[in-house]
């Protein structure tokens, strides 16, 4: 009992980390729901038998699985209930999933879940964000899925880079604590008509991307001020995600932001603004500003995920498309997850795994991702007509092999919310050099 009470004290010191699930999620969580979907476009998919089969994983006959989840809209809530009903009626092991919905609560879902599990609540499985993993792993609350994954055929249906991100979040190379479910992945939005006006094609390399930013900065009336800026640069909150693509494009990394390669990527980011290829407001621009600037025709390109695609098409119709962030000496884009976990305290781990694997690669995967518009992790579901005919989804799927997350550390919430925007703002305005800015960012993240 004393040990449990000591562990509870961890909540006070680490509650801030829970906020990372809002801040590290591909920028789409600035004004959007955590799942990144657009509720007004949701339709509950028809249940069919012609998609990926439920993996044949051993289960406890007749077991009950207690499942806690969040749903951002009434439509998503009903969809999850439909999925639970379908699983309960069709699984061959007599498993019954009991769903308990809890509010996202601005990221408070994770804190409340921690308190519940520490207090001995009967929860077998929960929906998840990678940012919460270190706290739960450090308190021995999550089950290692490795014994199940070793014998599960569905592993190969999910991209290896996604599995790498799941393992990295747990901090152990020999253990996987998180089961993939669905994703939000950043890519580049662009205006085909502006590319045609500039006489350029879609860039396929990082150097071509930088050149495209310059080429699509256009002064149409000759007054010396661009009427179109090449890139909607995000220097304000959430800007660490597109910025990270520039750093990696030069061969840099988050592990050593003071390397020559990382500093070169920072300099590219600075040059886009200081050379006049981004709007004057870029140092403070956040999600709303970059999207508004793109909608108004002020920018030719910007970076976000499928959560913005519906609005883009409403404004531009076919005159908007997307491409994955191009490769340079390195390649990276931000990838936010919504996943699932099984708790170590569960007495029905086999049955729980059958449920989470059904969500990952079974009919539950298709139903949820088609109903919410999020990116499926299952290659089989990705190959379906619903996703193959969407150019924005395709840009996401093509990016999954090099997607990643900002390092998840105790310092990360403050780094994202305060240190990064302040430092980037100073760098863009010429108050500090690229090298000085990267030293500040490195020291603050790894102090």
Asked if residue 430 is part of any domain, the answer here is yes
Asked if residue 65 is part of any domain, the answer here is yes
State the Cα–Cα distance between residues 355 and 372, nearest whole angstrom.
Answer: 19
Instruction: Please list the residues that pair with 304 across neighbouring strands.
Output: 187
Same domain, 320 and 413: yes
Which are the contacts of 61, defined by CB distance < 8 A and separation ≥ 6? 93, 94
State the Cα–Cα distance between residues 304 and 311, nearest whole angstrom.
Answer: 12
Rg (CA), the chain: 22
Same domain, 135 and 150: yes
Does the pLDDT at position 267 exceed 70? yes
Asked if residue 49 is part of any domain, the answer here is no
SS3 assignment, position 323? strand
CA distances from 328 to 60, 89, 214, 390 (A): 49, 49, 17, 26
Which are the contacts of 314, defined by CB distance < 8 A and separation ≥ 6? none
Share of the chain above pLDDT 90, in %: 83
Asked if residue 163 is part of any domain, the answer here is yes
Asked if residue 44 is part of any domain, the answer here is no
Same domain, 199 and 302: yes
Asked if residue 17 is part of any domain, the answer here is no
Same domain, 282 and 409: yes
Per residue in 198-252, pLDDT (tens digit) is: 999 999 999 999 999 999 999 999 999 999 999 999 999 999 999 999 999 999 9
Looking at residue 390, the DSSP 8-state letter turns out to be -
Asked if residue 201 is part of any domain, the answer here is yes
Window from 60-64, 171-175, 223-227, 280-284 with minimum mean pLDDT? 60-64
Same domain, 177 and 217: no
Same domain, 292 and 438: yes
The total number of structural domains that make up the chain: 2
Q: In this predicted structure, what is the pLDDT of residue 60?
A: 66
State the CATH number of the domain containing residue 432. Answer: 3.40.190.10
Same domain, 303 and 328: yes
Residue 282: which domain range? 187-335+404-445
Asked if residue 354 is part of any domain, the answer here is yes
What is this structure's pTM?
0.85
DSSP symbols for 35-99: T---GGG--PPPP-SSSPPPP-----TT-EEEEEE--SSHHHHHHHHHHHHHHHHH-TT--EEEE
Which are the contacts of 180, defined by CB distance < 8 A and separation ≥ 6? 158, 162, 163, 166, 337, 339, 360, 377
């Amino acid at each position: 009992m004393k040990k449990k009470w000591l562990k509870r004290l961890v909540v006070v010191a680490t509650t801030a980390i829970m906020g990372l699930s809002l801040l590290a999620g591909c920028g789409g969580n600035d004004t959007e729901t955590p799942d990144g979907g657009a509720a007004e476009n949701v339709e509950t998919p028809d249940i069919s038998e012609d998609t990926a089969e439920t993996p044949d994983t051993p289960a406890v006959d007749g077991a009950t699985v207690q499942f806690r989840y969040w749903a951002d809209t009434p439509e998503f809530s009903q969809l999850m209930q439909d999925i639970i009903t379908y699983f309960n009626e069709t699984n061959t092991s007599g498993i019954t999933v009991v769903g308990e919905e809890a509010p996202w609560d601005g990221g408070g879902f994770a804190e409340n879940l921690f308190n519940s599990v520490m207090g001995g609540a009967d929860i077998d499985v929960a929906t998840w964000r990678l940012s919460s993993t270190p706290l739960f792993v450090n308190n021995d609350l999550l089950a290692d899925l490795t014994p199940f994954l070793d014998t599960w055929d569905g592993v190969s249906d999910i991209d290896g880079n996604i599995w790498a991100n799941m393992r990295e979040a747990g901090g152990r190379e020999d253990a996987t604590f998180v089961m993939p479910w669905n994703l939000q992945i950043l890519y580049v939005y662009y205006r085909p008509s502006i590319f045609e006006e500039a006489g350029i094609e879609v860039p396929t390399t990082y150097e071509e991307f930088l050149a495209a930013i310059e080429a699509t900065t256009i002064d149409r009336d000759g007054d010396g001020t661009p009427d179109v800026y090449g890139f909607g640069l995000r220097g304000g909150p959430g800007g660490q995600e597109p910025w990270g693509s520039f750093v990696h494009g030069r061969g840099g990394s988050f592990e050593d932001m003071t390397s020559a390669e990382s500093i070169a990527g920072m300099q590219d980011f600075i040059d886009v603004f200081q050379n006049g290829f981004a709007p004057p407001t870029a140092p403070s621009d956040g999600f709303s500003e970059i999207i508004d600037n793109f909608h108004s025709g002020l920018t030719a390109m910007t970076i976000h995920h499928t959560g913005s695609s519906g609005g883009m098409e409403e404004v531009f119709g076919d005159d908007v498309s997307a491409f994955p962030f191009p490769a340079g000496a390195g390649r990276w884009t931000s990838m936010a997850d919504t996943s699932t976990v099984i708790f170590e305290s569960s007495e029905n781990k086999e049955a729980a795994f059958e449920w989470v694997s059904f969500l990952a690669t079974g009919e539950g995967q298709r139903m949820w991702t088609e109903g919410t518009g999020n990116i499926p992790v299952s290659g089989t579901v990705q190959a379906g007509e619903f996703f193959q005919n969407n150019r924005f989804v395709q840009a996401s799927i093509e990016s999954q092999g090099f997607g990643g997350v900002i390092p998840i550390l105790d310092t990360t919430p403050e780094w994202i919310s305060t240190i990064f925007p302040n430092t980037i703002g100073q760098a863009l305005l010429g108050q500090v050099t690229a090298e000085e800015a990267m030293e500040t960012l490195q020291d603050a993240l790894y102090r």
